Structure 1
Amino acid sequence: MTETRRNSPDFDPASLQQWWPQPSRPRPIAIFGAGSIVGDAHLPAYQKAGFLVAGLYDPDLEKARAMAARFGVEVFSSAEEAAAVEGAIFDLATPPAAHARSLALLPEGAYVLIQKPMGADLNAATEILDLCRRRKLQAAVNFQLRFAPMMLALQDAIRCGYLGDVVDIDAHLALSTPWGLWPFLKGLPRIEIAMHSIHYLDLIRGLLGDPQGIHAKTIGHPNHDVAQTRTSAILDYGDRVRCALSINHDHDFGRTFQASEFRICGTNGAAYVKLGVNLDYPRGEPDELWIFPAGGDGWVEIPLEGTWFPDAFIGRMANLQRFALGEDETLVGAVDDAWRTMALVDAAYQSSAQPATPVRPLPEA
């Protein structure tokens, strides 16, 4: 992607915030789960940030031992042992069906990060919300895309007025996703929106707030048995903002015309974001952020200092750590807010299940 790099006079790409401030005294982290996301993102992120990992637990102890040996951390022999780590931040990198069971083991008032989604459906999310409220758990859901360096910089650019008022958001993905990396997905009735596009719905909520509603259609593909892998959705923000998602995980025809991108347009400027990790996951490609600033006359590439995987996981954990220390006033993606993302996901599935408005037939001659 090439363009002129002339700026508006007051646009300083280097000033855009790409990292969440780090905690002054990080707490130890106790991890529940030893799946691929732990090895691909959680542990690399915590090592990079210098966070202390007290250990990890997984019901499959052999898998836990292999993961622990790879990263040089301890293995807990039981979930109860993991839950007993004093003063810990608890990182539940568990399948949705295991969240409530793990949360019930934690000390009252504990600080905890819950892997997305917040349960298998909205009913499960409501049970988790009620459980966290009853036990006074300070819990956030790991919607970490908001913390990716490219997205932190985008949010900062919007706050600074470089785009004006956001009036248009397009998410376009056409790629080949290796669903076999997550065997726990097999047989689940909700996949694409609940497990993948939920990140984009949460990000959009962070940028625009809650929509009035959603129109969606999500379907599978005849070449495999994953419940859904293709989604089209329109988020209704009234007559001023257009927001649409076009997601196809079955574009398995080589890299040339694959895409993983957002286009965000404002009244005075625009931004383009490439989400590189989705392309050749989990190895991925570099992320990209380009901005056409208000008052400028060309696109400017923002030099990024990190990537969605694993660096967003640093920011996500840093916010929770700082909240536990009283250094952040707001816990981003707290369970109350995350429940609203789950409600949007549920509304999308309800919309998809509804019959479309039929097209009137041709009148008889």
Structure 2
Amino acid sequence: MSAAPAGATGPTGIELWGPVADAVDLRVPVEHRVPIAVVGAGAIVDVAHLPAYRAAGLEVVGIHDIDATRAEDVARRHGIDRVYGSLDEVLADERVQVIDVAVVATAQPDIVRAAVAAGKHLLCQKPFAPDVTTAEELRDLAEAAGVRVAVNQQLRFDEGIAVARAVAEAGWIGEPTALTVHVDIATDFGAWPWLLTSDRLEIAYHSIHYLDAIRSILGDPTSAYCAAGRRPGQAPAAETRTMTTLRFPSGASAGLHVNHENLGGDARAEFRLDGSEGSVRGELGMLLDYPHGRPDTVELFSRVVPTDGWVPFPVTRRWIPDAFAGPMKGLLRWIATGEPAPTSAADNVGTLRLVEALYASIASGRAEDVDR
């Protein structure tokens, strides 16, 4: 492990992290808050969306799910006044300016089309669409109607990832050269029965988080390579282990090693961003004790600041539920100010193109160009 240059006595604690703390703030200004309705009452809405919105001071006025009993139960426990009997009722509610859509990718496009026609702004679940062509259609439809559509790629706003991005943008690690993610865990995909029979799994529904976060730091890659596999006897039909390499125009690279079939109990969930003048490293605590989770850890070594060795950031939030306020905050700011959300539909098409390039690489056995 590298040490700071001899004699370095750089700032520590709040003195160091003040500017970065401002950059990762998830509070939503009062003037940006508008009434929200939720379509979908699954577990992630229950444990992440609604707690995050409540903590951010946002008003959820109603919820709808095709399972009315489930919707009523979630509404009761979260103090939501109205349970809509249909999507049409949601769209007809004049109070609602934003709809948070939390359904499977195949069901989402029709909801988006109907909501755009009704003039409702949208935060959509990831993946935004089952394929790039459909995503581009929905993006264009919303833009033509003047409707704001963002995607719930919330790992960008996880405190550890947000700190790493802010540090890179501040120039504290010099020119970014490599970003690595290593996740070695045991995941019970039986919690999502529909995933067990899906022909796509790890990349489309899990590593899509890391791919989007990497894009938020390094931009769009030019090429991508992925090898995927399964553990004999596993329950899911699709890939549960992937090894991915990305190359960027700057010469930087990214590597992802993700395994959901760890039988040994020695879980890892680590990320590291290296630059010409330093590094940021940490753990994604949520994955080490899912679904309860732990706080992230984040540390900085910098010859720019400079730091005296590795200096920890005082993490106070978790990926679930806290980071879920991030995509909604970006959408609400977009509606209020015209500044596009970081996870806008237009941006998210880039994440979906990367997903498609990785599946193409798995099929071809070689690196694939990433459409831009």
Q: Determine if the alignment matches structure 1 residue 263 to structure 2 residue 265.
A: no
Match of 1:12 in 2: 16
Letter in 1 for 2:10: S
Match of 1:303 in 2: 314
Whether the aligned pair in 1 keeps the contact of 2:219 and 2:248 (CA below 8 Å) is no
Match of 2:358 in 1: 348
Letter in 1 for 2:361: S
TM-score (norm 2): 0.89
Aligned partner of residue 140 in structure 1, secondary structure: strand
Q: Determine if the alignment matches structure 1 residue 27 to structure 2 residue 34.
A: yes
Match of 1:90 in 2: 99
Counterparts of 1:38-57 in structure 2 under 5 Å?
38-57=45-64
Aligned partner of residue 304 in structure 1, secondary structure: coil
Whether the aligned pair in 2 keeps the contact of 1:40 and 1:282 (CA below 8 Å) is no
Q: Give the aligned length.
A: 352
Please list the CA deviations of residues 47-104 of structure 1 after superposition, one character each: whole Å capped at 9, or x if unmatched. Answer: 1111100111000111111111221213111111112232421100111011111112
Change (3 A) 1:356 1:339: closer
Q: Distance in 2 between matches of 1:138 and 1:65?
A: 28
TM-score (norm 1): 0.90
Aligned partner of residue 149 in structure 2, secondary structure: strand
Please list the CA deviations of residues 193-214 of structure 1 after superposition, one character each: whole Å capped at 9, or x if unmatched. Answer: 0111011111111111111110
Q: CA deviation at 1:356?
A: 5.3
Letter in 2 for 1:12: L
Match of 1:72 in 2: 79
Q: Distance in 1 between matches of 2:109 and 2:345?
A: 13
Letter in 1 for 2:281: Y
Aligned partner of residue 171 in structure 1, secondary structure: strand
CA RMSD of aligned residues (A): 2.2
Higher deviation after alignment, 339-348 or 19-28: 19-28
Q: Distance in 2 between matches of 1:114 and 1:239?
A: 31
Q: Unaligned 5+ residue runs, structure 2?
A: 368-372
Whether the aligned pair in 1 keeps the contact of 2:327 and 2:343 (CA below 8 Å) is no
Letter in 1 for 2:57: G
Q: Distance in 1 between matches of 2:34 and 2:317?
A: 23
Q: Determine if the alignment matches structure 1 residue 214 to structure 2 residue 220.
A: no
Change (3 A) 1:139 1:7: farther
Fraction of identical pairs, as percent: 36
Aligned partner of residue 173 in structure 1, secondary structure: strand
Change (3 A) 1:334 1:7: farther
Letter in 2 for 1:155: R
Q: Determine if the alignment matches structure 1 residue 114 to structure 2 residue 124.
A: yes
Q: CA deviation at 1:306?
A: 1.2
Among 250, 255, 258, which residue is 1:247 paired with?
258
Match of 2:177 in 1: 167
Change (3 A) 1:54 1:300: same
Q: CA deviation at 1:225?
A: 3.2
Q: CA deviation at 1:166?
A: 0.7
Letter in 1 for 2:30: S
Higher deviation after alignment, 90-99 or 132-141: 132-141
Letter in 1 for 2:87: A
Q: Distance in 2 between matches of 1:183 and 1:136?
A: 37
Whether the aligned pair in 1 keeps the contact of 2:225 and 2:366 (CA below 8 Å) is no
Q: Distance in 2 between matches of 1:245 and 1:144?
A: 18
Please list the CA deviations of residues 319-345 of structure 1 after superposition, one character each: whole Å capped at 9, or x if unmatched. Answer: 11121111x622111111101110000
Whether the aligned pair in 1 keeps the contact of 2:223 and 2:246 (CA below 8 Å) is yes
Match of 1:360 in 2: none
Q: Determine if the alignment matches structure 1 residue 178 to structure 2 residue 188.
A: yes
Please list the CA deviations of residues 15-43 of structure 1 after superposition, one character each: whole Å capped at 9, or x if unmatched. Answer: 31321352323111110101111012001
Q: Distance in 1 between matches of 2:259 and 2:215?
A: 21
Q: Distance in 2 between matches of 1:18 and 1:252?
A: 35
Segments ≥4 residues shifted beyond 3 Å: 133-136
